[in-house]
Amino acid sequence: MKRKGFGFSLPVTAVILVIGFIYFSTVFTFIDRWLSLASSPGIANAAAFTALALMCVYNYSIAVFRDPGRVPPNYMPDVEDPKSPVHEIKRKDHHCIWINNCVGHTNYKVFFVFVVYAMTACVYSLVLLVGSLTVEPQDEDQDMGSYLRTIYVISGLVLVPLSIALGVLLGWHIYLSLQNKTTIEYHEGVRAMWLAEKGGQVYKHPYDIGAYENLTLILGPNILSWLCPTSKHIGSGLRFRTAFDSAPISSGTKP
């Protein structure tokens, strides 16, 4: 479902400009100088990087424009349902300024997949940047040399910290996904664990049903579609499997 009320966002504009800069500098500077766009290796790497860039842009666009999902205002869980031992209504979402949207039930997977492709593209671009520096410049005038130095300096200043930041972000979300937690649930869990230990009990996250099963709830049951922007598997967001369920009843990630 497409979200409503989207307006101009400076962070989103910055992300789009960075993606564009990295793409053009990688393909038309790093690949061309190192491998040549007229050679088979150059064409192959340009095609591979273009595919990465397109997947980045596509998943990013969905994360920005898709409504993250929300609890219906009149929804009330059936507290007498014996098949539902855990009852929670989570009305909070995690707002991300870089997509000018909340990361919630319906767009979490595409956000996660975007981060995977973005980090891969940044590392790939860095490898191509370093490789192109091993090539001796030929017949470059002073203006072209100055232009290229500017491209390399800006690219390095962008790619190195961005690769580190995306790597940390991806690692964090892999950790959360393996435990089937949202960022908010992680912080709630820290307090719940403290309270449980204080009372002499052991706290277990109720939605943690095993690392692989957790991943299939978020990324889908078909491993071949994990890096594709599919979302038919996520369910309504009103009912989720828990560690207390005896059999699978639904699928999805929590808003």
pLDDT per residue, tens digit, the chain (255 aa), is 666 666 789 999 999 999 999 999 999 999 999 999 999 999 999 999 999 999 999 999 999 999 998 877 787 766 666 666 555 655 558 789 999 999 988 999 999 999 999 999 999 999 999 999 998 777 667 778 888 999 999 999 999 999 999 999 999 999 999 999 888 888 888 888 878 877 888 888 888 899 999 999 999 999 999 999 988 888 877 777 878 775 444 444 454
Q: Which of 56, 96, 102, 122 is catalytic?
A: 96
CB 12 within 8 A of CB 100: yes
**What gap in Å lies between CA 222 and CA 160, rounded to an integer?**
33
CB 108 within 8 A of CB 181: no
Based on the residue annotation, tell me whether 56 is a catalytic residue of this protein: no
